[in-house]
Amino acid sequence: MELAEIGEVLRRRLLKELMLSGVSIPDPATTFVEADVTVGQDTLLLPGSHLLVGTVVGSDCVIGPNTYLSGVRVGDRTQIRFSVAEQCEIGDDCKIGPFAHLRPGTRLHTKVKIGNFVETKAATLHENVSASHLTYLGDAEVGANTNIGAGTITCNYDGVQKHRTQIGAEAFVGSQSTLVAPVTIGDGAFIAAGSVITDDVGQDALALGRARQVTKDGWAKNRRLARQALPKVLPTDTSSTTPASSRPAPEKDVNP
């Protein structure tokens, strides 16, 4: 109990020093900053923010609410909301979250957008890359101005070792694409939505890796009609057809 009380005194002292240096902390009671953390002027730390050992945050940033940073270097004018980041670098003017997870080895250059339910690990994303929804980028490098569509994943692990995915600049990766590493996507390439890419894609090329759609007109209607034409089978009462010898004997009343 005494240790907790001492920790509370130290925490409030650190937060007071930050506020006096120009950091805005509207709710100190729910904001946690460790001793070696540095935060730039005009940055806003919203409730539920946890800034742990080794974290450096630039100026004019918005951190939180409910954000966990450990060993992270954050540039200026970056926003991180409802997210977790560990042992990574985030550049200037980035937008992270909500609900993103930046794992160790992630490096984001300026103006990168990481949206909801996006996870990165040992990945470098160059300037103005956008991965807005439901994406996993592991052991990968993505060139400047490339768009990563919703549901894209890099298949970096074959069960034995990790492999890298290289995506060039100005490329477009369509939604629900699966990139099976090791694989390289060239500058300006276009990956069609729903593709499974196992071979390298050259510069400015279009790659499609999915089954061809087959449409059968009227099939659903015919199926419904066929089901309606089937005779309805009523459940049968098997008690009348069961031989008496095989029927269970009635239980005796033990309390006459």
- Residues labelled catalytic: 133
| DSSP 3-state of 135 | strand
**DSSP H or E run through 229:** helix 219-229
DSSP 17-85: HHHHTT-B-S-GGG-EE-TT-EE-TT-EE-TT-EEETT-EE-SS-EE-SS-EEES-EE-TT-EE-S-EE
Residue 222 DSSP SS3: helix
DSSP, res 199: S
